[in-house]
Copies of this chain bind each other. A is one copy, B any other.
Amino acid sequence: MKPLRRWNISVVGSSSASPEVLSMAEELGRQIMEAGFNLISGGLNGVMDAVSKGAFSVVGEKSGRIVGILPTDRKGDASPYVDIVIPTGIGFARNYIVALSGDALVIVNGGSGTLTEIAYAWRFGKPIVALTSSGGWARKLAGERLDDRHAQAIYGAGTPSEAVKLLKSLLD
């Protein structure tokens, strides 16, 4: 059988963010795609759009895909940079699916919505990397454990390229 299936990286973050954070997310998306992963996000605005945009700039026939898992039931709500749209129609319960769909999770900034995704990913034992310089819950939770369920804390990464290096070592 052809080695078709790629690792899925879920990137979670705020639906509105500063230009600096958005540019960091864009760089992260580009590098995730170049590393040969599929990119998963919530498919809407802010960090979700920026990370998909970065991935879109290098996506090609030999790369992974850009997946957006929407809360709404309308495909048209997706960021234009999302390739494969999953309009779940289940509201923010879709955060659970974003967390479960990643083989690993990267946090970029993030408020309370993002926090649900981080906590779900932790609950299910996914490796989690926080982009510390992006602020928000990423900065607060880098190096922390959410409960005693797992020994390994949330990883901190200073830059998108450090995050992707970590993902490669964790998933290979």
Residue numbers of A with Cβ under 8 A of B are 1-2, 4-5, 8, 38, 56, 59, 61-62, 65-67, 69, 73, 75, 80, 82-93, 95-97, 100-101, 103, 111-113, 115-116, 119-120, 122-124, 136, 146-149
Contacts and interface: CB of A to CB of B under 8 A. Distances in A.
A101 B87 contact: yes
Nearest to A75: B103
Instruction: Kindly list the 7 A-B residue pairs having the minimum CB-CB distance in the complex, ordered from nearest.
Output: A111-B147, A61-B61, A115-B119, A90-B90, A89-B91, A112-B146, A93-B96
B84 A88 contact: no
B73 A124 contact: yes
Given A92-B123, A116-B123, 5 more contacts: A4-B66, A96-B96, A112-B119, A112-B149, A115-B119
